[in-house]
Structure 1
């Protein structure tokens, strides 16, 4: 298929991935051994638990009926009935034309038991590839780096917040901050992901040095050297390098169309061989930009529970889904086996290097591993981000960021379709700022990367995204590069180089 034809077909893709109708989804995963209850009663119990865990504090406003209806895939009537039950039981106070608020004083009830941990830990060996280093070289136009321009982020506001914190509390610079991290940020994280349909307990959250460290900690908690970990195909090369570093084997599982990992194929892999864990992005995968449908995310959580296999769910790009679909598979988890990881580096502040993980049943082990690995994160960064999230500005910022990123992805896609050789194809991503491009079969992307350096252009070759070196004629393109004469000229030269390579073979 030609680049232009495939591009026209792909432009409609983001609109297709809308959430399922509310009537087709359950409010919350049913716990093992639980009696059958109504949807609104189960939602009410989940909200009570979040209030007890500190996700919503006394006097704080709960999500609106319509917002909770969207995030939980329930009807408005079901959510209203759950709020009525909470009001009757004195958990919340309803204020006319204002909303539903946590009651100043909660009913007497037993508090949750402490969370238990498990699993063994092992050392790891470092290994990296020269091709990935080349993709991030600072002297090249960064088409190969998954780094959007700083203009996407609230840098000025965060800088002001950090300065204010240090002016008021200069002792923050002199304090150690031990894992799992500042409670204020962990609570804000838990509140934020309510929109993902997830149920995150602040006590289970560990603040990390980005999502990569979060994933490393999860893998160290549930695997040992020599184990096999199922990954999506193609897989983010940072995942593959992490597995190599930890002495683990990657078992790619085919993706079906644009719907992410095929869970039926994963189930067959589990049956045919020992799979110690599953590592994947369920919403806006890197590099393909695919998003698993809601039913497939539920199927993944059910498989994890049935086979007792830990799942590490990376949600780094979830907030950048163009249609707003960011439901996490963890929201369907029944047994604490789905560990939810994410990062604020793609949505708020790359330079602050802050990520997090809700480790489920492995939370204590993950927090311990963080402490012995790197003690913790800088407290001033955590508190500045907590204040920013508490201010409520992130939702508005994300809407504008998604629009801007989608516009840049379309602009890049149109340029690729115009300047790259016949036989180039791609499908538009469901979100984020990356474009997964298939070049004509005779183009070796690794050679393309090496020759592009001479043009001052960086690119990420497809072989990085497969443990077997597949995708030899694919490249991942960063659409977050600012539009400038230099960038346009670099893209033109890259397309001409690909054309020369295609014609020469």
Structure 2
């Protein structure tokens, strides 16, 4: 393994040097994978991994069915340059104190809220939701008052199952367990398939809440290099699976937070195939799936014939965070996960389930999601443009495919932790990039929430942030 790593890094460096020296110029096609494997005397897989690393670094452009080309200078400037490369060691997570420190200001109403990832209240149908809630609790008072079965209200789970009718492998009502938000679903999944001291493969960067869950449950994280467009490096992930380095894999395939990518259907199928082949449970966090701008992005769970995917989701991001209504489809791990649910929170509140059943069966939720996708697409585009205009030259933002966050790469190694402190003193809340990794990474990145429509106050705050960044 060490020899393979040496070859992989050595060849990547040789190709990088040849491109920088002008041996291969911008737009020029590189030799094929097969040709390079013959030149260097290595396997095709080693060359593929070299290309993947160079693509992550923005040095080459892989064009399906066309070949591999040297990236233009402008393209290279817009690629993340600090993605960590495998192999790395499993690490214990120690982020909870930092994350609590960075989250607390969100509760202060006077701040400009660019930190927590959430669509703004003004673009959500709050009055319609509350009116529907009053109606269902009045008409079904006893059901709203009483305990609900762990499997959930029949009308609600029926609607959830119907959402998967176009999946190659649909989710059945019997496989669903209703949870208190997506985080409870993820926590139950981790407790089901891992034990204290186990290692879980995660993206880097990844959602900080998932890292805190690993910390609290005393699991280790193995960070897998993650591409801004394609997601987890599947070659690297397979090496971890093959050598038994991880007990589970925690991943987001649609509108991932914070990078914003959506994996292709082909890569999702490959991901599930790997999990099945090596019997590694795949915990899928699809909380932003309904916000993918192009719509109808299937989750990896849709291709899960063997039941190896534990699918986790909720309506916290797409409709109402205070409702705390989520669900999990555990596949072959259903029995154990249900046991853990019953000894933790027993069941999930009845009223939110009655409400969502009503909103879904009436067609209102589907209509709302269509509008939300269009709105968030506009907001992320306009916020990104404002940031690039205000921030120093060299600032990088990759266009998200869904959700409402921007992963902003800062030039000149600007430390986003220092920027957080300065922004907060000026009434602006942001989230520094270091908490999206279990290791010492992403300090020169920050995540900005684009959930609020651009207005004068928000524009002024972005300009202030840009001035602070320029001051470095």
State the TM-score bracket (shorter-chain normalisation).
0.7 to 0.9
How far apart, in 2, do the equivalents of 1:339 and 1:345 lie?
A: 19
1:155 to 1:197, Cα distance in 2 relative to 1, 3 A: farther
Alignment-derived partner of residue 391 in structure 1 = 362
SS state at 1:345 partner? coil
1:412 matched to 2:383: yes
1:190 matched to 2:161: yes
More divergent stretch after superposition (473-482 vs 318-327): 318-327
Alignment-derived partner of residue 138 in structure 1 = 108
Query: Does the CA-based 8 Å contact 2:308-2:331 persist in structure 1?
Result: yes
How far apart, in 1, do the equivalents of 2:166 and 2:320 lie?
A: 20
Query: Does the CA-based 8 Å contact 1:463-1:470 persist in structure 2?
Result: yes
Alignment-derived partner of residue 381 in structure 1 = 352
Query: Does the CA-based 8 Å contact 2:260-2:406 persist in structure 1?
Result: yes
How far apart, in 2, do the equivalents of 1:488 and 1:470 lie?
A: 29
Q: Deviations over 1:309-364 (max 9, x none)?
A: 10001111111111124112112212111111111111122221111110101112
How far apart, in 2, do the equivalents of 1:223 and 1:387 lie?
A: 36
Instruction: Give 1:460's match in structure 2, choosing from 403, 414, 431.
Output: 431
SS state at 1:452 partner? helix
1:334 to 1:128, Cα distance in 2 relative to 1, 3 A: farther
Query: Does the CA-based 8 Å contact 2:230-2:261 persist in structure 1?
Result: yes
How far apart, in 1, do the equivalents of 2:424 and 2:282 lie?
A: 38
Query: Does the CA-based 8 Å contact 2:431-2:448 persist in structure 1?
Result: yes
1:423 matched to 2:423: no
Query: Does the CA-based 8 Å contact 2:187-2:213 persist in structure 1?
Result: yes
How far apart, in 2, do the equivalents of 1:305 and 1:204 lie?
A: 18
Equivalent positions of 1:33-112 (< 5 A) are none
Please report the TM-score for the alignment, with normalisation by the length of structure 2: 0.77
Alignment-derived partner of residue 351 in structure 1 = 322
Cα offset, 1:492, TM superposition? 1.3
Alignment-derived partner of residue 221 in structure 2 = 250
SS state at 2:164 partner? helix
Alignment-derived partner of residue 300 in structure 1 = 271
1:489 to 1:148, Cα distance in 2 relative to 1, 3 A: same
Alignment-derived partner of residue 112 in structure 1 = none
Query: Does the CA-based 8 Å contact 1:135-1:145 persist in structure 2?
Result: no
More divergent stretch after superposition (174-183 vs 130-139): 130-139
1:127 to 1:497, Cα distance in 2 relative to 1, 3 A: closer
Pairwise CA RMSD of aligned residues? 1.9
1:141 to 1:378, Cα distance in 2 relative to 1, 3 A: same
Alignment-derived partner of residue 222 in structure 1 = 193
> How many residues were matched structurally?
378
How far apart, in 2, do the equivalents of 1:174 and 1:161 lie?
A: 16
Alignment-derived partner of residue 142 in structure 2 = 171
Cα offset, 1:173, TM superposition? 4.7
1:291 matched to 2:262: yes
Query: Does the CA-based 8 Å contact 1:141-1:487 persist in structure 2?
Result: yes
SS state at 1:312 partner? strand
Alignment-derived partner of residue 103 in structure 1 = none
Alignment-derived partner of residue 312 in structure 2 = 341
Q: Deviations over 1:385-431 (max 9, x none)?
A: 01110111222221111111000001101100110111111111011
1:207 matched to 2:178: yes
Alignment-derived partner of residue 322 in structure 1 = 293
Q: Deviations over 1:23-49 (max 9, x none)?
A: xxxxxxxxxxxxxxxxxxxxxxxxxxx
How far apart, in 1, do the equivalents of 2:158 and 2:355 lie?
A: 14
1:187 to 1:128, Cα distance in 2 relative to 1, 3 A: farther
How far apart, in 2, do the equivalents of 1:300 and 1:235 lie?
A: 17
Cα offset, 1:290, TM superposition? 1.0
How far apart, in 2, do the equivalents of 1:461 and 1:174 lie?
A: 42
Equivalent positions of 1:475-490 (< 5 A) are 475-490=446-461
1:289 to 1:126, Cα distance in 2 relative to 1, 3 A: closer
SS state at 1:313 partner? strand
1:126 to 1:221, Cα distance in 2 relative to 1, 3 A: farther
Cα offset, 1:269, TM superposition? 1.5
SS state at 1:367 partner? helix
1:433 matched to 2:388: no
Cα offset, 1:257, TM superposition? 4.4
How far apart, in 2, do the equivalents of 1:188 and 1:126 lie?
A: 37
1:448 matched to 2:419: yes
How far apart, in 2, do the equivalents of 1:442 and 1:388 lie?
A: 47
Cα offset, 1:365, TM superposition? 1.8
Query: Does the CA-based 8 Å contact 1:406-1:431 persist in structure 2?
Result: yes
Q: Please, which runs of 5 or more residues in structure 2 have no aligned partner? A: 1-93
Query: Does the CA-based 8 Å contact 2:176-2:328 persist in structure 1?
Result: yes
1:350 to 1:173, Cα distance in 2 relative to 1, 3 A: same
How far apart, in 1, do the equivalents of 2:431 and 2:396 lie?
A: 16
How far apart, in 2, do the equivalents of 1:364 and 1:384 lie?
A: 27
Alignment-derived partner of residue 282 in structure 1 = 253
SS state at 1:346 partner? coil
Alignment-derived partner of residue 56 in structure 1 = none
Please report the TM-score for the alignment, with normalisation by the length of structure 1: 0.72
